[in-house]
Amino acid sequence: MDDARSRLLIHGASGRMGRSLLSLVAEHPGLHLVAAVANAPRADLGALAVLRPAHIGQAPAFDVVIDFSAPAAIPALAQACAARGAALVSGTTGLDASALAALDQAALQVPVLWAANFSLGVALLAALARQAAAAVPDWDCEIIETHHRRKQDAPSGTALRLGEAIAAGREQDLAAVARHGREGAHAVRVAGEIGFHAVRGGDVVGDHQILLAGEAEVIELTHRAASREVFARGALKAAAWLAGRAPGRYVIEDVLGLRPR
């Protein structure tokens, strides 16, 4: 094994994102997969150590974890990473207060990076949206997101993240200016609001569009994910970047050097 590579454990290997990570990790020169945690047996992983969630303490030495699992699994995972001195990259969504607190606690001892979307393109889109919104603060702003028919939450976490970036660029409180959909006889747009619209259908992985509309001109910023591989590749890049860094909370923008100053 190349000693320069960080030893990786994939947590949630039986899910869709876990399977994508397993299929792509060999392509990443900075990572060496040493173990996987899955809810179901994985006969296709050969000699790789495959553990059930309750047995993560039996995993071989690892430097960084990529997690796409369930909110209930986060406290134990965060504690295990802190005990092992391993970095934690998590894309598990729907976290409750106990899971968020567990990430904060682990970050006192190890580097922790959580993101709702690991697409590097979305991170760049958010940075561009913040800059554009600040440049034209009086233009109308709408966010339209499209996902597959099985997606349960709306608007998407990514749409909300884009809304937060726009609100930050305009020094607004998103909760105070967000408007979700329009219908009826009193749907006139209110100045300063940020509109959200959700579309569901087919097997769309994820499309996000930002409209900034001024007088006689419109700017459109769009990102389309053609495959879930974009999220897996982003998480792998984040893991290689995060391993060995100082304890603390990080965001995906840090990986690209895009964190707002």
For the segment 135-145, the average pLDDT, to the nearest whole number, is 97
Q: Is residue 147 among the annotated active site residues?
A: yes
Q: State residue 152's pLDDT score.
A: 83
Cα dihedral 27/107/50/239 (nearest 10): 0
- Selecting among 147, 208, 223, 237, the annotated active-site residue is 147
The sign of the torsion formed by the CA atoms of 131, 182, 220, 115 equals: positive
Asked whether residue 85 carries a pLDDT value surpassing 90, the answer given is yes
The pTM of the full predicted model, rounded to 2 decimals, is: 0.83
Asked whether residue 160 carries a pLDDT value surpassing 60, the answer given is yes
For the segment 48-62, the average pLDDT, to the nearest whole number, is 80
User: E strands within 38-133?
Assistant: 49-51, 64-67, 87-90, 111-114
Q: Describe the strand order of the beta sheet including 87-90 as a list of residue ranges.
A: 49-51, 31-37, 6-11, 64-67, 87-90, 111-114, 248-250
Q: Which of 53-67, 82-96, 234-248 bottoms out in mean pLDDT, i.e. has the lowest?
A: 53-67
Q: Which of the two residues, 127 and 157, has the higher pLDDT score?
A: 127
Strand partners, 49: 35
Q: State residue 2's pLDDT score.
A: 47
Asked whether residue 45 carries a pLDDT value surpassing 70, the answer given is no
Cβ burial of 165 (10 Å; 0-12, 13-18, 19+) is buried
Label residue 203 by pLDDT band (50, 70, 90): very high
Q: State residue 30's pLDDT score.
A: 93
Q: State residue 110's pLDDT score.
A: 98
Asked whether residue 260 carries a pLDDT value surpassing 70, the answer given is no
Q: Which helix (H) or strand (E) holds 11?
A: strand 6-11
Asked whether residue 80 carries a pLDDT value surpassing 80, the answer given is yes
Which amino acid is it at 81?
A: C
CA distance 159 to 209: 9
Asked whether residue 167 carries a pLDDT value surpassing 90, the answer given is yes
Asked whether residue 123 carries a pLDDT value surpassing 70, the answer given is yes
Mean pLDDT (the chain) is 92
Q: State residue 47's pLDDT score.
A: 59
